[in-house]
């Protein structure tokens, strides 16, 4: 599904152009190389520490939008990319909460019905489909659904059926068809590099370590705040292997540590009393191997 970044002609040319000389200051375009992804990730990692903390200190809720961190000083990261490009790369590819598996039959039906209801408001549709980007949905619609519907309409004079995925090759689709609800699809492949937060309550935090937990499964229909339970103490998050978006609590015995996987779920912190006591937390971004949920 996700085509690996490659050294396209465009990319190589751009890289060569950016390699030195007068072209050094030119903005790069084209596909992102793994090195650029790495730099963007590293930049977010390092800049995220101070920026995030300082924003928290100002009690600005918007700190939750990590995208802004990426945009702050991309030039300093050696990325001769526009802010827009960085944002797009982050939003459509690097964001850790993105689903990596192909769009399922069920999701396709959702797209069809929502498109019928909302029109081409892809961002609104994407907002109702956790883990999917507007770009992804838009591409999916344009490349598959619309063509099939128009073809079917042309052939039969009627709209194409909702099940338009006969070509979908994956076991995922088969699984969903066989047991739509009971199916427990394998965890989606998680990219090796995950920008994750680690927030540690300093000095025990005084309150014994408030945590917030949520157990949003990969295919949950919503990431609404209503699905979230916030609690005090160190009790939450023991089922970290199932925590798709958020693993809270002292899951690894390293103190009052909270691990966040999905940026959206940073919003949860707002609802936890005392959690935004900025002086109580030491936050950092770190790499993570999600298979263990605790890589450093």
113 binds DNA (CB under 7 A): no
Q: Radius of gyration over alpha carbons of the chain, in Å?
A: 21
146 binds DNA (CB under 7 A): no
144 vs 242, which CB is nearer to DNA?
Answer: 144
Give the angle subtended at the CA of 99 by the CAs of 98 and 104, to the nearest 5°.
Answer: 145
Instruction: Decide if 101 contacts 170 (C-beta within 8 A).
Output: yes
156 binds DNA (CB under 7 A): no
Distances in whole angstroms, Cα of residue 199 to Cα of each of 52, 63, 205, 281: 11, 14, 11, 6
- In 115-208, where do the E strands start and end? 196-201
Site string for DNA, 11-50 (x = CB under 7 A): -----------------xxxxx------------------
73 binds DNA (CB under 7 A): no
Rounded CA separation 267/263 (Å): 8
**Which position among 41, 47, 52, 85 is part of the footprint of DNA (CB under 7 A)?**
85
52 binds DNA (CB under 7 A): no
Element (H, E) at 157: none
Helix (H, G, I), strand (E, B) or coil at 285: strand
128 binds DNA (CB under 7 A): no
Instruction: Decide if 129 contacts 104 (C-beta within 8 A).
Output: no
**Which position among 143, 184, 241, 291 is part of the footprint of DNA (CB under 7 A)?**
143
116 binds DNA (CB under 7 A): no
**Which position among 122, 244, 246, 290 is part of the footprint of DNA (CB under 7 A)?**
122
Binding span for DNA by CB under 7 A among 44-52, 80-88, 181-189, 269-277: 80-88
Beta sheet of 257-260, edge-to-edge order: 246-247, 257-260, 196-201, 281-286
Site residues (vs DNA, CB under 7 A): 1-6, 8-10, 28-32, 65, 67-68, 71, 81, 83-85, 87-89, 92-93, 102, 120-124, 134-136, 138-140, 142-144, 147, 167
């Amino acid at each position: 599904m996700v085509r690996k970044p490659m050294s396209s002609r465009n990319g190589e040319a751009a890289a060569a152009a950016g390699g030195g000389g007068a072209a050094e200051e030119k903005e790069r375009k084209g596909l992102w190389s793994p090195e650029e992804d790495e730099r963007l990730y590293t930049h977010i990692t390092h800049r995220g520490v101070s920026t995030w903390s300082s924003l928290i200190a100002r009690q600005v809720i918007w700190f939750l939008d990590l995208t802004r961190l990426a945009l702050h000083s991309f030039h300093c990261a050696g990325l001769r990319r526009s802010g827009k490009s960085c944002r797009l790369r982050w939003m459509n590819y690097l964001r850790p909460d993105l689903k990596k598996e192909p769009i399922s039959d069920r999701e396709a039906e959702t797209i069809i019905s929502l498109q019928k209801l909302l029109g081409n408001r892809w961002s609104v549709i994407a907002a109702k489909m956790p883990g999917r980007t507007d770009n992804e949905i838009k591409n999916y619609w344009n490349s598959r659904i619309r063509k099939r519907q128009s073809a079917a309409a042309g052939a039969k004079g009627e709209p194409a059926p909702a099940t338009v995925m006969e070509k979908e090759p994956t076991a995922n689709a088969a699984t969903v068809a066989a047991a739509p609800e009971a199916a427990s699809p394998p965890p989606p492949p998680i990219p090796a590099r995950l920008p994750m937060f680690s927030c540690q309550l300093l000095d025990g935090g005084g309150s014994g370590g408030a945590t917030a937990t949520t157990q949003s499964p990969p295919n949950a229909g919503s990431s609404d705040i209503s699905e979230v339970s916030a609690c005090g103490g160190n009790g939450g998050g023991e089922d970290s292997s199932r925590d798709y978006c958020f693993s809270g609590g002292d899951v690894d015995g390293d103190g009052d540590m909270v691990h966040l996987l999905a940026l959206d779920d940073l919003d949860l912190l707002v609802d936890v009393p005392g959690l935004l006591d900025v002086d109580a937390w030491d936050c950092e971004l770190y790499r993570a191997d999600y298979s263990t949920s605790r890589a450093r």
